Amino acid sequence: MGYQSFKDLVVWQEAKKLAVEIYKLTSDGKFSKDYGLKGQIQRSAVSIASNIAEGYERNSNKEFIRFLLIAKGSNAELITQLEIAKDVGYINQDVFAAIENQINKIGAMLTKLIMSRKSKK
């Protein structure tokens, strides 16, 4: 696929970095005690990088695209859950805006990668 490993994909690197930040963010204050929302957010964040990796390792362009689409879905899920966290007061607007920028960047990278892979069918 042009890369030696999924770890070489910048989108995977960014998604993993985001997941680590989400874990740090959700381990503090009131957020850390809301096990339902905290768990959902953590799972969504981990799912983005995990689906990129799993799709890459399938060694099939069609499967890779499918898993990239799942990662995009998890990306949208994550922003929705963070909007809720912001609205209930777990994170402030500045923190939300910074994470939203990362999520949007990852979403755009996923879209470009999907379009690139679709053109290689």
Q: Note whether residue 5 is domain-resident.
A: no
pLDDT value of residue 121: 61
Q: Note whether residue 3 is domain-resident.
A: no
* Tokens linked to 1: 């696929």
State which residues form the domain around 42: 10-118
Q: Residue 114: in which H helix or E strand, if any?
A: helix 93-118
Q: What CATH number corresponds to the domain at position 29?
A: 1.20.1440.60
> Residues 9-13: what's their mean pLDDT?
97
pLDDT value of residue 59: 87
Q: Is 54 exposed, middle or buried (0-12, 13-18, 19+ CB in 10 A)?
A: middle
> Residues 34-59: what's their mean pLDDT?
96
Please answer whether residues 14 and 102 qualify as being in contact, where contact means their C-beta atoms are separated by less than 8 angstroms: yes
Is pLDDT above 90 for 49?
A: yes
pLDDT in tens, 64-86: 999 999 999 999 999 999 999 99
Q: Note whether residue 112 is domain-resident.
A: yes
Q: Note whether residue 110 is domain-resident.
A: yes
Q: Note whether residue 14 is domain-resident.
A: yes
- Name the pTM for this structure: 0.93
Q: Note whether residue 108 is domain-resident.
A: yes
Residue with tokens 């990852």: 106
- Choose among 3, 114, 6: nearest CA to 61: 114
Radius of gyration over alpha carbons of the chain, in Å? 15
Q: Note whether residue 2 is domain-resident.
A: no
